[in-house]
Amino acid sequence: MTTLRVIEIYASIQGESTRAGLPCTFVRLAGCPLRCRWCDTVYSFSGGEPMTIDEITDEIDGHGIGLIELTGGEPLAQPGAPELLGVLCDRYSQVLLETSGSFPIEELDPRVGVIMDMKAPGSGEESRNLWQNLEHLKVGDELKIVISDRTDYDWAREVVEKHRPEVPVLFSPVFGELEPSQLSEWMLADRLAVRMQLQQHKYIWDPEARRT
């Protein structure tokens, strides 16, 4: 029986992506091989409670929300994550996956909405990007790039212009580091057809609070 290490399962408001503002049940898996400079979930790097897929879905059911997101850490670092995603797709109306893009996505259940968080230079993890993943983004997926400064912005703009992803693209300023107004000015100056994204949960609640 497949077992995964789970940090937390909780209901909250979806703070990011094009589904921002919607009630969502989050399943946060443990473990991540990346060490992004601005990571706000370092507590997920280790530990976690071993749970079977049935135990995970039983706890999700208790929240009564049909929008589910598998997050981390890096969920795909656990071998059982693709199987869990398939089961979630069978049971719930909409299933999202937040992933760094450093693990292959082409074999995932096509019903999963992939939110791929590519790593700009300021993250310190640019070398982890698996560029072929861009070819496997599909309808219902999204590309997110977190931006800390002008160098990151120029890099992200070049990614969009070179690869022209046919999915929504979201630029997210590092909370507390890059002012949203500054990122907005750069986007407007370039007439860049991407979406500004703010982490809504950090404005609704204390940005240091865990939503357990």
CATH code where residue 100 lies: 3.20.20.70
* Average pLDDT of the residues in 29-55: 96
pLDDT value at residue 201: 83
Domain assignment of residue 178, yes or no: yes
Rounded CA separation 198/76 (Å): 25
Least confident window among 9-23, 78-92, 194-208: 194-208
Comparing C-alpha atoms, which of 20, 13, 4, 2 is closest to residue 195? 20
Confidence of residue 205 (pLDDT cuts 50, 70, 90): confident
Give the DSSP H or E segment for 89.
helix 81-91
87-118 pLDDT, tens per residue?
Answer: 999 999 999 999 999 999 999 999 999 999 99
pLDDT interval class at 1 (50, 70, 90): confident
Count of domains forming the chain: 1
pLDDT in tens, 148-185: 999 999 999 999 999 999 999 999 999 999 999 999 99
Q: What is the pTM of this model?
A: 0.94
Q: Which residue has the tokens 């240091």?
A: 208
Q: Residue 212 domain-assigned?
A: no
Give residue 212's pLDDT.
55
CA distance 143 to 17: 9
Burial class (CB in 10 A: 0-12, 13-18, 19+), 59: middle
- The answer to whether residue 132 sits within a structural domain is yes
The two tokens of residue 183 are 């990122």
Q: From the CB of residue 32, how many other CB atoms can be counted at a distance below 10 Å?
A: 21
Asked whether residue 210 is assigned to any structural domain, the reply reads no
In a domain, 72, yes or no: yes
Residue 136 domain boundaries: 3-204
**Inside any domain, residue 35:** yes
Q: Is residue 163 part of a domain?
A: yes
